[in-house]
């Protein structure tokens, strides 16, 4: 069996140990997505290197899976299960959304793989929610109806961004003037963090530092400067980002009635854990008027294990 995680930034592949009692991966490899013209070229290279005999694969892909096909949201690729079967001789190919893959992986994480922002009062029978910001913003509700947890994919990250303050309303106007629309992931993503910094220096009179223009990965540079307190605009940008992230997490929690808790995944949250753990995330998460008490009781946990989606894809492959 072969499991995979495909995003705009990277492709992770690993073989799945069929004999182990728990999900166990080996022969793991990571590729930079944009260095390859297609998933097939990466698969060819991996299979040539490892020379495995593979019959069953499951890939978690950052994009909407329609039937047997998915076009990754931030990559110029087209992935079709039937075509992978024909080209590589696989017997079973399953494509799932990457957030659904992450949701399947949650139950296979160790206690040290998550960090509690709010212990809350977890309901064993309540739904859970998953929100994950990276190159885009993924959201899913994990339904519980008496059987095993059932993750439901969504494209909630492309829903409208809702400002929660006057400053965020001005941020909305800044992005709208450029795009003609403002999605949640326009703000809550790597690109969003860069946009927030530009907004502050372009419209709010904050000094723009040379390091920002010189940085190859601007959002990462903003996080570094913000956490060290070395740049006022970076500190403010990260504050706004955390507020918006928390607000959207609360929106998901209310829509999914997630008494089982909210999980925060993706590549960004573990990087800014100290900023989130200062109480700011939970203050904004709870700030929802009539539902404040409900939200205050919900567990909120950050997934630290960056292979959660790969582990989840492996779990699905084992079930096949």
For the stretch 9-51, pLDDT in tens is 899 999 998 777 788 899 999 999 999 999 999 999 999 987 7
At residue 293, the pLDDT reads 94
**For residue range 210-246, what is the model confidence (pLDDT) as tens digits?**
999 999 999 999 999 999 999 999 999 999 999 999 9
- What the chain holds in terms of domains, given with CATH numbers, is 2-104+307-319 (3.30.420.40), 111-304 (3.40.367.20)
pTM for this model (two decimals): 0.92
**Helix orientation angle between 166-179 and 232-256, rounded to the nearest 10 degrees:** 90
Ranking 68-77, 220-229, 262-271 by mean pLDDT, the lowest is 68-77
């Amino acid at each position: 069996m072969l499991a995979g995680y495909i995003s705009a930034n990277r492709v992770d592949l690993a073989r799945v140990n069929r004999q182990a009692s728990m999900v166990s991966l080996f022969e793991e490899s990571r590729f930079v997505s944009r260095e390859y013209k297609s998933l097939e070229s990466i698969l060819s290279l991996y299979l040539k290197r490892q020379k495995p005999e593979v019959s069953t694969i499951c890939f978690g892909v950052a994009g909407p899976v329609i039937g047997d096909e998915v076009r990754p949201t931030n990559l110029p690729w087209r992935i079709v299960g039937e075509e992978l079967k024909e080209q590589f001789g696989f017997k079973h190919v399953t494509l799932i959304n990457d957030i659904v893959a992450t949701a399947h992986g949650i139950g296979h994480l160790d206690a040290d793989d998550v960090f509690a922002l709010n212990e809350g009062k977890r309901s064993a029978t309540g739904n859970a929610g998953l929100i994950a910001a990276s190159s885009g913003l993924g959201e899913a509700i994990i339904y519980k109806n008496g059987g095993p947890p059932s993750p439901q994919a969504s494209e909630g990250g492309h829903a409208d961004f809702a400002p929660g303050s006057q400053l965020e309303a001005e941020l909305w106007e800044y992005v709208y003037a450029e795009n003609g629309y403002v999605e949640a992931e326009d703000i809550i993503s790597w690109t969003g963090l860069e946009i927030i910094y530009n907004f502050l220096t372009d419209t709010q009179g904050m000094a723009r530092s040379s390091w920002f223009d010189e940085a190859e990965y601007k959002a990462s540079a903003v996080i570094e400067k913000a956490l060290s307190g070395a740049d006022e605009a970076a500190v403010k940008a990260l504050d706004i980002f955390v507020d918006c992230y928390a607000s959207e997490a609360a929106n998901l929690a209310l829509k999914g009635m997630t008494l089982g808790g909210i999980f925060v995944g993706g590549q960004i949250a573990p990087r800014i854990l100290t900023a989130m753990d200062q109480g700011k995330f939970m203050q904004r998460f709870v700030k929802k008027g009539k539902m404040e008490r409900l939200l205050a009781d919900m567990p909120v946990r950050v997934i630290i294990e960056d292979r959660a989606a790969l582990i989840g894809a492996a779990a699905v492959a084992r079930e096949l």
